[in-house]
Structure 1
Amino acid sequence: MKNVFYKSTLLFGFLFVIFSCKTSTADDKQNQTINYGATEVSLFSATNGQLAFQVTKDQNIVLDTSLLGIKIDDKLLGKNVEVSLLEQEKVKIEYPLNGIKSEASYTGDLYTYKVSEADGTDWKLEFQLSNEGVAYRYVVSGQGTQHVQGEESSFKIPSQTKVWYFERDSDWKLKSHAGEWLSADISKMPTVSKMGPIQGLTLTCELPQGGYAFLAEAALYNYSGMRLEAVGNNTFKANFEEGDAGFDVTGDVTTPWRCILLADTLNDLANNTMVASLNPAPDPKLFADTNWIKPGKSVWHWWSGKYVNYKEEHDMVDDAVELNFSYNMVDDGWERWPDKWTKVTELSNYAKEKGIGIFIWKHSKEINFLEDDYAVMGHFLDSVKQTGAVGVKVDFMNGQSKSIISFDETLLKKAAERQLMVNFHGCQQSSGEYRTYPNEVTREGIRGLEVNHMKEGPLTASHNAALPFTRYVTGHGDYTPLGFTEPGETTWAHQLATLVTFYSPFNCIAENTQFLLKTKSIQPALEFIKTVPSVWDETFVLPQSKIGELAAIARRKDKDWYLGVLRSGATQEMIIDCSFLSDGEYTAEIFTDDTEAERIDLKGLNKETDLRQWDTAVPFKKRTETVSKDKTIIIQLAEHGGAVIKFIKK
């Protein structure tokens, strides 16, 4: 990671003419509008007097009349109010990014409004518009404790919109956000889930006029994480884990940004950085030095044996060296080792000699105590640091209440003070926290490959083909890719492609290291597995891509390009236009489904598997071609198949 955090300029505009938005009828909204390019936001009072807004792009409705407002201390703010524009600012920021690109560049307009209640009290409403979308938040000044009891915030989606949401047939759905990505018409959302009308963020909307709207939140700090309840009339309403009980905020209430990302193409959507850009820049004192934050791949024993012993983890360090990986993720089980801290220290010292860093797992409930500024957490992190380990994997937060969000931020801050990286599991999706705390090197909040080992698994190919355009839009995900020994309905080439289509600065590879190193049929791809990056300089989504059916994503690192293709559905011939390449020739190493070869017998390859009916898999084959940007490559995709191409610059 670069040491320079960001270059930021705020070019202040001038004070605009004050205007009022009074109660009006549907025919007399007296709209006040702001715009950025082809995107326009209208702010007005709805028929019931509640403050509302509407979003259009290219004169097409993206959000119809959607309410604004927040309830604090038994008072609903935003009804029968007057609104005046205080200030407009130009926002332009650039900052390093560990993920889809090496640097994010974001420009937009920030509008700050004063909202005057009938009783004379004031609060602020902020809107930010850019080419990447629209976002807003509430800022309510206060002293002492303010009690938040919910929001009126709603999002009315156009009819005939296809909504992508994650589903899980258990109460884990909204605890871990590890659901399967499915789609339904907006009209079906109140009843589509057996778990009720509440959906977790994010939601990807395929608009009837074309293009995409993506509902998310950004900068989730000192607040409860927002879910969305489908209330009918094509509308989602803000919902919080605390329900009617609400939650307390000390001092000013500044909500997270409520985001409507906008994209004409899937390439625009996958490259959208608005969520991260709405987060504060890192604390320059806390992150004065960031050389200790190093992206890389990790070995992981859990896939082949869940509860580990010291010798196995010692051997995993050696395998990490042979695989050219950077880390060893020591999961649940190390705390049962005799003299555990001494053993972890020995392991860390051995790993350090080999150039490998150690991450260790911890259950959140054992360090989530508020007393003395989370003293128990601090003592644990001190012990981790003293062993020489470089990071922690903290698990089972199981929710997104305000108290859990406060725990998450405290952990990131205290870990950064000790120069420790963090991997969150059993958590909600990202809201861009990794910009403010770049020591968050991955988080779950995703239905990842571990599900293949569970009764509710395995993952479907359509879920994988949806992920780059749903969960991954807001940030990295600890999917733990690459599962040759239990691929479910997918092929080995499909599994190989997940190393490119999914991204995580700390990329924890699932497959048994010895299987990778010693299995003859894997060897043609072993060098690719060793060298594929975990972060990228540039990302390009091929235009054939379609959510849930085909994800074809090219990513550049330095001079080389990598292309991953995930297919859900029947066999397909695909023509790859190489025009995304730079000038000059490339050696293309092409891994595709080998449909003519004998299927791989998966039985007995992994003692942890529950293969069900998927006890064989289509292997991959490799070929090499010389290509340039004016060439095309033809590949054959098997049912639920995939492909990987590494373009090596000559």
Structure 2
Amino acid sequence: MVTRSNPKEQGKMKKTIYGSTVILGILIMTWACNTVGEEKNKSQALSHGNIELSLFASTNGQLAFQIRKANKIVLDTSHLGILVGDKQLGKNAEVALLEQKEIKIKYPLNGTKSEASYSGNLYTYNVSETDGTQWNLEFQLSDEGVAYRYVVPGQGTQNVKGEESTFKLPSQTKVWYFERDSDWKLKSHAGEWLSADISEMPTISKMGPIQGLTLTCELPQGGYALVAEAALYNYSGMRLEAVGNNTFKANFEEGEGGFAVDGNVMTPWRCILLADNLNDLVNNTMVASLNPAPDPKLFPDTSWIKPGKSVWHWWSGKYVDFKEEHDMVDDAVALDFEYNMVDDGWEAWENKWEKVTKLCSYAKEKGVGIFVWKHSKEINFPENDYAVMGHFLDSVKQAGAVGVKVDFMNGQSKSLIAFDEMLLKKAAERQLMVNFHGCQQSSGEYRTYPNEVTREGIRGLEVNHMKEGPLPASHNAALPFTRYVTGHGDYTPLGFTEPGETSWAHQLGTLVAFYSPFNCLAENTQFLLNDKNVRPALDFIKAVPSVWDETVVLPESKIGELAGISRRKGNDWYIGVLSSGVEKELTIDCSFLKDGEYTAEIFSDDIKAKPINLDGLNKEANLRQWATAIPFKRETKTISSDSKITIDLAANGGAAIQFIKR
């Protein structure tokens, strides 16, 4: 518990906490205040393992906190507070600890591993303002990081005008952020992942100082911090404005006008994920774990939520007709895929619902599920409990489809977040899965609504078709450690016919390095089934799962340069390697394998082979100077846990390996 002090005491405390020779163990803070008892005059720093958090008032009286890990600062003095109506909460306030509670949960995941196990401590503080206003500040500390949120009680409508929340990182921190030279940057979050020193962040972007989440930070003392938010409901999505002094401040799409919240204001969790290495970062589940468990009334049964791979015509044909989609069902069967994603264009079919019903019926006979696309603006009408949305979803369900892809929300205002949640609720009521496009990154909603089987909020392979493409290999090599840390992404992997600067083995590697329960593959299905150069990898493409039981990051990985991701499904293991830059030699230690022998199918860059001529392979392609691609070669070896595999990586190359337990 922390109480308000006078300025002299604040100054003394600041010197004590931040003196260069002070090693923070257990911090005792004594605050002068005549209105509290002797017991309230003492406060301990919060701690969990080697993570310590100190809570205090900064020099201007605003509540603030600092995080240390292993006695080193990972987040320096950062402000806390929220602006509700005409009140700036958290300044010159008294704070008292109300409750401390241990959190231990386990729950199933469709993603990097089959089960998440999260434990930590929840601390609830009462904050008393000088005018008598009372509200709560909550912290969670765990081995995976630190999170906090504000809970402001109220009746009627409250207007949230912003937050005082800031995040001050150490000097010389390397920040990974996504960039796009257009206003689409903060609409769709489909930017290229780049890095810069923290000092450059206010001016690094032509689009201004505001960045979208998440931000992955390489700390100068080693290790990683990732800034994110969790449990984004009934609130506006947070962006971060670089305000100088190595600091980001919470920013919202609505600006100074703010947004209305009925009743109590409960913010999403503001998260600082912490990891000593990339393996711990990739396996961090704090964001999902801070979301509520699914409502058993809404999800009494989840057997209808089935992970799988999907065919997709858009990459090779864009606007489609009924016969093409009928043929795509047959191709899904030939590829052992579970779904067909029917994208924009089906609503122009004559007697569209009759045609869709016929398509769904045929697909169901073949064991294939149909997803259909919809523009959000055509169903985003809150009137009568989103009746238009409900009628559309009724039609989708009646036609026999199993899911919807809803596109072009183009923002993260509170009204759009409300739309997203309502879509998930109404889809769940009808046992329909949801694929979000044109949206912000994940904040773990898929735990509360497991029918969210993928979302965009990612710069995916479709950019290779666009004028601003193609994707550089460095972007792909950064994704597992940036965007994918907080949740699945609909990157739509595998583009042999337009791979940009990457090799074909790199493209195969994305099937493992990236993950999505609904994994929609980009490449032309007929090309996959019939091209002689692809044929050696066809069984691998068919077999690779879309969700995993376990994930291990290869220690040679480095953000933006090399992503080596090993994943297990059942008894079998897979590796995806994505390299950026010059040719490399990579030796893979197979000690992650269990006991016994495995048959390893290795797909690596065939550097000595004649490059593949890409001209004419895809009518939608804009090949630019990348008119050829390095093919892959296939090798088979017997491998055990004490084996090592050495592979040569081409410039911007990669590899994919399947280990089948013998």
Could you say whether these structures have the same fold, taking a TM-score greater than 0.5 normalized by the shorter chain as the test? Answer: yes
**How far off is 1:27 after superposition?**
3.5
Residue of structure 1 in register with 2:23 after alignment: none
Moved over 3 A (4+): 23-27, 29-32
Residue of structure 1 in register with 2:417 after alignment: 405
Tell me, yes or no, if the aligned pair for 2:2 and 2:56 is still in contact at 8 Å: no
Say whether 1:370 aligns with 2:382: yes
Tell me, yes or no, if the aligned pair for 2:235 and 2:261 is still in contact at 8 Å: yes
Alignment of 1:25-424 (within 5 A): 25-29=10-14, 30=29, 32-424=44-436
Residue of structure 2 in register with 1:8 after alignment: none
Residue of structure 1 in register with 2:453 after alignment: 441
CA distance in 2, matches of 1:312, 1:555: 34
CA distance in 2, matches of 1:117, 1:488: 57
CA distance in 2, matches of 1:137, 1:509: 38
Q: Deviations over 1:333-352 (max 9, x none)?
A: 00000000000000000000
CA distance in 2, matches of 1:130, 1:375: 42
CA distance in 2, matches of 1:173, 1:26: 42
CA distance in 1, matches of 2:409, 2:257: 20
- Give the letter aligned to residue 584 of structure 1: G
Q: TM-score scaled to structure 2, two decimals?
A: 0.95
2:638 to 623, 626, 631: 626
CA distance in 1, matches of 2:362, 2:195: 48
Say whether 1:520 aligns with 2:503: no
- Give the letter aligned to residue 89 of structure 1: K
Tell me, yes or no, if the aligned pair for 1:23 and 1:46 is still in contact at 8 Å: no
- Give the letter aligned to residue 372 of structure 2: I
Residue of structure 2 in register with 1:20 after alignment: 3
CA distance in 1, matches of 2:354, 2:653: 46
CA distance in 1, matches of 2:327, 2:160: 51
Q: Deviations over 1:153-206 (max 9, x none)?
A: 000000000000000000000000000000000000000000000000000000
**How far off is 1:121 after superposition?**
1.3
2:443 to 409, 423, 431: 431
- Give the letter aligned to residue 479 of structure 2: L
CA distance in 1, matches of 2:304, 2:104: 28
CA distance in 1, matches of 2:643, 2:350: 60
SS at match of 2:12: coil
Q: Deviations over 1:583-627 (max 9, x none)?
A: 010000000000111000000000000000000000000001101
Tell me, yes or no, if the aligned pair for 2:83 and 2:163 is still in contact at 8 Å: yes
CA distance in 2, matches of 1:323, 1:22: 68
Residue of structure 1 in register with 2:574 after alignment: 562
SS at match of 1:27: helix
Residue of structure 2 in register with 1:11 after alignment: none
Q: TM-score scaled to structure 1, two decimals?
A: 0.97
Residue of structure 2 in register with 1:642 after alignment: 654
Tell me, yes or no, if the aligned pair for 1:275 and 1:432 is still in contact at 8 Å: yes
CA distance in 1, matches of 2:6, 2:595: 60
SS at match of 1:546: coil
CA distance in 2, matches of 1:549, 1:22: 49
CA distance in 2, matches of 1:508, 1:616: 24
Query: Structure 2 vs 1, CA of residues 422 and 312 (structure 1 numbering), >3 Å: closer, same or farther?
Result: same
SS at match of 1:290: coil
2:610 to 598, 606, 619: 598
Q: Is there any run of 5+ residues in structure 2 with no aligned partner, and where?
A: 15-28, 30-42
- Give the letter aligned to residue 461 of structure 2: L
SS at match of 2:315: coil
Q: How many residues align?
A: 633
Tell me, yes or no, if the aligned pair for 2:2 and 2:55 is still in contact at 8 Å: no
2:462 to 450, 456, 460: 450
Residue of structure 1 in register with 2:479 after alignment: 467
SS at match of 1:384: helix
Residue of structure 2 in register with 1:3 after alignment: none
Query: Structure 2 vs 1, CA of residues 23 and 495 (structure 1 numbering), >3 Å: closer, same or farther?
Result: farther
SS at match of 2:435: strand
Tell me, yes or no, if the aligned pair for 1:226 and 1:238 is still in contact at 8 Å: yes
- Give the letter aligned to residue 3 of structure 2: S
Tell me, yes or no, if the aligned pair for 2:565 and 2:576 is still in contact at 8 Å: yes
Tell me, yes or no, if the aligned pair for 1:296 and 1:325 is still in contact at 8 Å: yes
SS at match of 1:304: helix
CA distance in 2, matches of 1:121, 1:363: 43
- Aligned sequence identity (%): 79
Q: Is there any run of 5+ residues in structure 1 with no aligned partner, and where?
A: 1-17
SS at match of 1:139: strand
Tell me, yes or no, if the aligned pair for 1:493 and 1:641 is still in contact at 8 Å: yes
**How far off is 1:32 after superposition?**
4.3
SS at match of 2:130: coil
Residue of structure 1 in register with 2:38 after alignment: none
CA distance in 2, matches of 1:126, 1:63: 18
CA distance in 1, matches of 2:11, 2:310: 57
1:607 to 593, 610, 619: 619
Query: Structure 2 vs 1, CA of residues 139 and 585 (structure 1 numbering), >3 Å: closer, same or farther?
Result: same
SS at match of 1:104: strand
**How far off is 1:21 after superposition?**
4.0
Tell me, yes or no, if the aligned pair for 2:313 and 2:342 is still in contact at 8 Å: yes
Residue of structure 2 in register with 1:12 after alignment: none
Say whether 1:583 aligns with 2:595: yes
2:498 to 465, 486, 511: 486
Q: Deviations over 1:8-44 (max 9, x none)?
A: xxxxxxxxxx541435434324374100000000000
**How far off is 1:109 after superposition?**
0.1
- Give the RMSD, CA atoms, in angstroms: 0.7
Residue of structure 1 in register with 2:18 after alignment: none
- Give the letter aligned to residue 555 of structure 2: P
Residue of structure 2 in register with 1:5 after alignment: none
Tell me, yes or no, if the aligned pair for 1:23 and 1:45 is still in contact at 8 Å: no
CA distance in 1, matches of 2:263, 2:92: 25
Q: Deviations over 1:445-503 (max 9, x none)?
A: 00000000000000000000000000000000000000000000000000000000000
Tell me, yes or no, if the aligned pair for 1:23 and 1:47 is still in contact at 8 Å: no
Q: Deviations over 1:378-431 (max 9, x none)?
A: 000000000000000000000000000000000000000000000000000000
Q: Deviations over 1:198-241 (max 9, x none)?
A: 00000000000000000000000000000000000000000000
SS at match of 2:233: coil
